[in-house]
Amino acid sequence: METILITGGTGLIGKRLTSLLLQNGYSVIVLTRNKIEASENFKLEDPQSTGYHNLSFAEWNVKEQTIDRTAVEKADYIIHLAGAGVADKRWSDKRKKEIAESRTKSGALIVKALSENSHHVKAVVSASAIGWYGPDPSVPNLKPFVESDEPNDDFLGQTCLQWEQSIEPVQKMNVRLVKLRTGIVLSNEGGALEEFRKPLRFGLSTILGSGSQVVSWIHIDDLCRMYMQAMHDEKMQGAYNAVATHPISNKKLNETLAVKQRGRFYIPIYVPSFVLKMVLGEMSIEVLKSTTVSNEKMRKAGFQFIFPDVEKAIADLINN
């Protein structure tokens, strides 16, 4: 049985990925600041049938740069998801520093752990984000962003650059590295979809700004399957865009969600850009930004999407 060491295992993506790994017969060690608290908060629908007995917890402290050596020594693969939520709080200077350092310092700790301890880690699969790219030069963008494009010079672009650079030294240790630049993740457990669904309880479909901005998204199960493929496919190396095949406008995304959830019984409401800027501050730039991202490299790696279009993805999430 192969052992997966995962950081960020109690987050939105981490919990679903951990569950799928257990279902597929892996042993999973979740790195956390507090083993007892994480164990209590980590809930699976059916612990017995999903291999819950193969889940364990180990402690690390990114601030103090300490990590459980035994966990590192047991790992066959490392999945690195740790990082403060980009959209969880308004972007003050303090919060922006926290967002960046939670990624760069955790990456540095993984590098440190592998360099200082004996291990047999075959590959590290690390999260990154399509925040790497800037806004579309035009809408529609006839030339979607690809992995070889340079990082944007804004906050998220430079954060993603530093994020990826922090984990890249593992390659010098003969450890294969895959970086998944993730789009907007659609899930029932939180994230953007939950925010879009809140006003629908009152029959309102909120369209942000003009609604024409393109959203490059991915269903959480497709994303988790990408991580699993990246672990074992020895041909995969470097950056891959983790987005669905068909990006969609903010307006179309919200309309599709409204129709699937309420049929014709909803009212579209446009939230003006200036309101978003007052409420969200600098973070409104990302909400209003159009970013069309290509997944051609991932498809050429042989990945088969279950949810390539948003209609199928949202229908699955609503029905489950």
Are the C-beta atoms of residues 134 and 152 closer than 8 Å to each other? yes
Position 20 scores a pLDDT of: 94
Spell out the per-residue pLDDT of the chain, length 320, in tens: 899 999 999 899 999 999 999 999 999 999 999 888 888 777 655 555 567 789 999 999 999 999 999 999 999 999 999 999 998 888 999 999 999 999 999 999 999 999 999 999 999 999 999 999 999 988 777 799 999 999 999 999 999 999 999 999 999 999 999 999 999 999 998 888 888 889 998 999 999 999 999 999 999 999 999 999 999 999 999 999 999 999 999 999 999 999 998 887 889 999 999 898 888 888 888 889 999 999 999 999 999 999 999 999 999 999 88
CA distance linking residue 3 with residue 120, whole number of Å: 11
Through-space distance between the first and last CA atoms of the chain, rounded to whole angstroms: 30
Looking at CATH, the fold of the domain delimited by 3-185+217-243+292-307 is given as Rossmann fold (3.40.50)
Its sign, for the CA torsion 105, 157, 153, 123, is positive
Show Cβ contacts of residue 284 under 8 Å, excluding neighbours closer than 6 positions.
273, 276, 277
pTM of the model: 0.94
Position 319 scores a pLDDT of: 87
CA distance linking residue 112 with residue 219, whole number of Å: 33
Residues in the chain, total: 320
